Amino acid sequence: MILRNIRLFSKDQRGFMLVEMLASLAIAGLIGLGATMANAQVMNQTARNNDYTTASRHTLNALHWISRDTQMAQTIDGAAGFPATSNLTLTWTEWDNTVNQVVFSVVNGQLMRSYSVDGGAPSVTLVAEYINSDAQMTNCVSGNGTLTIKITGSVGEGSTVVNVTKLREIASRPKL
């Protein structure tokens, strides 16, 4: 009796129609396409955000170290050609007549800081990476005891390069 009722119930249904199958496949395809596009957008935006953050942090780190040393400096040399044709050299004398010299140079996108005391062997430190050495992007000007510096960090490749430019004006210590 039960089997007969099941047969009567399913007697007119023999499967899905072709139109129903095609409609369900089209809807599933659209949902899948939307999910794939959203995922690709999130991945691209994440990569751009990571590149921006990296460039910004390295640029700020470079500005921190240059600002720190410039505020101590009594003389600033080589600012006009930095970084393309010359190094930025900062020199100061402490109260006990100790002469400190810091030389900043950009080599292959890396900002290097060379610090020496009384003409001794310099201590070289990597300050920042991804620094754009193009004279239009990274440069500085010194005048009236003030160093105006523009530093650009460039991260990425091809059409996805992210440039972050920071500009800072730093007053150096007056000659004692």
Strand order in the sheet with 110-117: 75-77, 88-93, 99-107, 110-117, 123-128
Rounded Cα gap, residues 63 and 167, in angstroms: 9
Model confidence at 7, pLDDT cuts 50, 70, 90, reads low
Torsion over CA of 137, 127, 67 and 109, rounded to 10 degrees? -10
68, pLDDT greater than 70? yes
Model confidence at 89, pLDDT cuts 50, 70, 90, reads very high
pLDDT of residue 18: 83
pLDDT of residue 120: 92
Domain segments of the chain as ranges: 37-171
Model confidence at 131, pLDDT cuts 50, 70, 90, reads very high
Sequence-distant (6+) residues with CB within 8 A of 113 are 65, 69, 102, 103, 104, 124, 125, 126, 127
What is the mean predicted confidence (pLDDT) over 153-174?
87
Average pLDDT, the chain: 87
59-63, 125-129, 138-142: least confident range: 138-142
Q: Closest Cα to residue 145, out of 113, 164, 171?
A: 171
Q: Closest Cα to residue 128, out of 154, 102, 149?
A: 154
pLDDT of residue 26: 93
pLDDT of residue 176: 44
Handedness of CA 16, 17, 21, 27 (dihedral sign): negative
Q: Are 151 and 55 in contact (CB under 8 A)?
A: no
Question: pLDDT for 104-119, tens place per residue?
Answer: 999 899 999 999 999 8
pTM: 0.75
pLDDT of residue 10: 55
